Amino acid sequence: MNNAEALKKIAGEAACEFVKTGMRVGLGTGSTVKYTVLELGRRIKEEGLNIVGVPTSVATQNLATEVGIPLVELGSLDGLDIVIDGTDEFDPHFQLIKGGGAALLREKIVAQQSAAMVVVADDRKQVDCLGAFGIPIEITPFACDVTVSVLASMLNCNVELRMDGDAHVLTDNGNCIADARIGPTINDPITTESNILNVAGVVQVGLFNNMCDAVVLASGDGVQTLMNPKGRL
C-alpha cells in the first residue's frame, strides 16, 4: 500500500467513530470511503454494531453487501442520521466538489436526507479555492453536446464529456458526465451551483454547498477532524 492509499485507509476508518449502534447511515462512494464501508462491516461482524445503510452507488452497494452491512431503500426511512462520503476538494468554508466517481446525483440525494455529513479525505483534497479539480456535471444524454456548449459559454472554460474509450461514461442513472475545467476560481460556489443547475439538460452539479459538518483529514502528521463551526455535529 503506497502512502496516498495508506492515508485514505486511515481517514476512512477514523470516520467510523461517528457511527453508533442504531444509526441509519448513508454510505458514500469512492476510494477513501471504501475503507469506511470495510470498517463498518468489520464492526458489525466483530463488535455487534447494529446499523442499516443506504448506498450512493452500485459499487458501494456491492461492497456493503459483501461485507455484511444491511441495506435499505432511502424511501423506506424517515431520513438518515449521518452520511459518510469522500470529496475531490474542500475549501475553508467546508464547501465541496464531488463527482470524480460519477455518483454525484445519488450522493447529493442521500446527503440532503442526512442529519449530518462527515467527509473523509487526505490532505491533497484541501484547497484554498475550489475548482482546480474541475466541476463534474451530470447531464442528460439527449443533445449532450448542446448542453456542453452552453455550459462552456456560461462558465467561460473548457467543458468536456467524460469518455471511456470511444463511449461516454454513464452514471448509474444512465446519464452522461461533463467536466468543467474551470480552475481554482470558484469564489462563490453557491451562485455557481445555481447558475449551472439553471441550464436545461443539467441533472445535477458536483458542488456540495452547506452540507459538510466535519472533515476527517489524514496527512503525514496523522489524522485530525476539522469541525465546521456552522455545522450540525
Q: Please state, as a whole number, how many other Cβ atoms lie within 10 Å of the Cβ of residue 182.
A: 20
Could you tell me which residues come within 8 angstroms of residue 167 by beta carbon, excluding any fewer than 6 positions away? none
Interstrand relation of 82-86 and 24-27 (parallel, antiparallel or unpaired): parallel
Q: How far apart are the first and last CA of the chain?
A: 32
Per-state percent for the chain, helix, strand, coil, to nearest 5:
35, 30, 40
**Distance separating alpha carbons of residues 188 and 137, to the nearest angstrom:** 17
The answer to whether 55 and 71 are in contact (CB under 8 A) is yes
Active site residue 107: yes
Q: Determine which one of 39, 107, 138, 193 is catalytic.
A: 107
Give the cell for residue 79. 431520513
- Cross-strand pairs, 97: 89, 207
Give the cell for residue 171. 452514471
* Residues identified as active-site: 107
